[in-house]
Amino acid sequence: MIDRLRDLVRELMLIPGLSGHEGRVRRSIRQKLAELGLAARTDRLGNLIATIPGTEDAPEIMLFAHMDQLGLIVRKIEANGLIRAERLGGVPEKALPAQEVLLCVGEGRDVPGVIANKSHHATSQDEKYRVVPYQELFIDTGFGSAAAVTAAGIEIGTPVVYAPKFVELGGGRIAGTAIDDRAACAVMLEVARALDEIDTHPTTHLVFSVLEEFNLRGAVTAAQMLQPDIAIQLDLILATDTPDMAARGDVRLGGGPAMSLYSFHGRGTLNGVIPHPAMVRLFGDAARDAGLPLQRSVHVGALTDLSYVQLVGEGVASIDLGFPMRYSHSSLESCDLSDLAALVALCVEGIRRIDVDFSLDRDDYP
């Protein structure tokens, strides 16, 4: 499965899909679902939904991961052809200069560019350690005039992403663009394949969601339509096994999938997820019985769209599961393929245990 996962992740990572512009990713995943014999539908926001029917009267599950990625969007084309861009999503400004980007004009017509980094020979002492605000940055496509840029198909509003990249590192690890969250999209496709080979499982709705990096709420329309009893969200879990992250927790790359016991974001968002105790117990038991590793994460400062999905209807029993990942939101995020494989196994093992007797009653839990 590792080989198939690697190929799948690579393929998905190399497709540009800025938030709000997920069309190419959606078409690719729809095709892969079709190959698995699964028909998929799309809602008006662009969420891609495929339902695997299962045991009647068992709680219904929405398993989801987001298709979109963060990036930039063209704000102004200067007369000399240099391009100013607005940030879309949590783009780290300190990781932007000297990056290769792709201006997404249309399949086969995309335009490469570079984000300028002031010539080192002209960099003053106090500029050396300063993060350049994105407003001061510009993208150079090589075209020397606004007319030439426009003729190449670039206009105000054109999506820009990090140049798609896939790097195979040692030890079964990979790096590249949009591992957040295409790796989880690949995991979901593998879960779909595995569920198909199991006799009894609950009805599972696979949702490949939109707009997560933009406003965290794209998945909400899918949840409103599906009215699931349970929501399982798959995304990165911050790895803390590098020196700069050591005090934040105990999540190791290659140490297996992880579940979040607490997430919170203050600054204007004021949301987070404290998972339903039934979900924590379910995946704890599933991991133990199947001999799978399961790491635990508590983190303030990052959210997923589950924060909003949990509030739909009379409430959805929710949990964030994920794969450890380093260097989030940079153009070279990194994860371990064995964690993705184990996450597939954990999801399947957990989901198959949900039957008609599975209780979501809070009073059945401490």
Q: Would strands 230-238 and 61-66 be described as parallel, antiparallel, or unpaired?
A: parallel
Cβ proximity to Zn ion: between 214 and 358 the closer is: 214
DSSP for 291-354, please give it.
Answer: T---EEEEEES---THHHHTTSTT--EEEEEEEEEBSTTSSSEEEEHHHHHHHHHHHHHHHHT-
CB of 46 to Zn ion, least distance (A): 16
Cβ proximity to Zn ion: between 180 and 336 the closer is: 180
CB of 109 to Zn ion, least distance (A): 28
**Amino acid occupying residue 346:** L
x/- contact string, 347-366, with Zn ion (CB under 5 A)?
--------------------
CB of 216 to Zn ion, least distance (A): 10
Residue numbers 154-213 binding Zn ion by CB under 5 A: 180-181
C-beta atoms surrounding 291 within 10 Å: 8
Distance CA 321, CA 283 (A): 9
**Amino acid occupying residue 151:** A
Q: Which of 22, 190, 212, 333 is catalytic?
A: 212
Distance CA 366, CA 278 (A): 10
Cβ proximity to Zn ion: between 60 and 235 the closer is: 235
Applying CB under 5 A, which part among 37-45, 86-94, 232-240, 319-327 lies near Zn ion?
232-240
CB of 78 to Zn ion, least distance (A): 33
Cβ proximity to Zn ion: between 235 and 339 the closer is: 235
CB of 240 to Zn ion, least distance (A): 17
Quickly list H helices, the chain: 2-13, 23-35, 146-151, 179-195, 212-215, 218-226, 277-290, 306-309, 337-352
Distance CA 214, CA 210 (A): 9
Residue 68 binds Zn ion (CB under 5 A): no
**In which residue are the tokens 């209807």 written?**
313
The closest of 300, 302, 299, 296 to 321, measured between CA atoms, is: 296
**Cα dihedral across residues 95, 98, 99, 104: positive or negative:** positive
Applying CB under 5 A, which part among 22-30, 228-236, 310-318, 342-350 lies near Zn ion?
228-236
Please tell me the number of Cα atoms within 13 Å of 166 on its side-chain side: 15
Applying CB under 5 A, which part among 76-84, 95-103, 233-241, 355-363 lies near Zn ion?
233-241
Cβ proximity to Zn ion: between 214 and 262 the closer is: 214
x/- contact string, 254-293, with Zn ion (CB under 5 A)?
----------------------------------------
- Total number of residues that touch Zn ion (CB under 5 A): 3
CB of 180 to Zn ion, least distance (A): 4
Cβ proximity to Zn ion: between 137 and 237 the closer is: 237
Terminal-residue alpha carbon distance, the chain: 38
CB of 155 to Zn ion, least distance (A): 28
User: Of the candidates 235, 333, 339, 349, which one interacts with Zn ion according to CB under 5 A?
Assistant: 235
| 56 part of the active site | no
Cβ proximity to Zn ion: between 181 and 320 the closer is: 181
Distance CA 332, CA 237 (A): 16
Q: Would strands 173-176 and 166-168 be described as parallel, antiparallel, or unpaired?
A: antiparallel
Residues that bind Zn ion (CB under 5 A): 180-181, 235
Which residues does the annotation mark as catalytic?
212
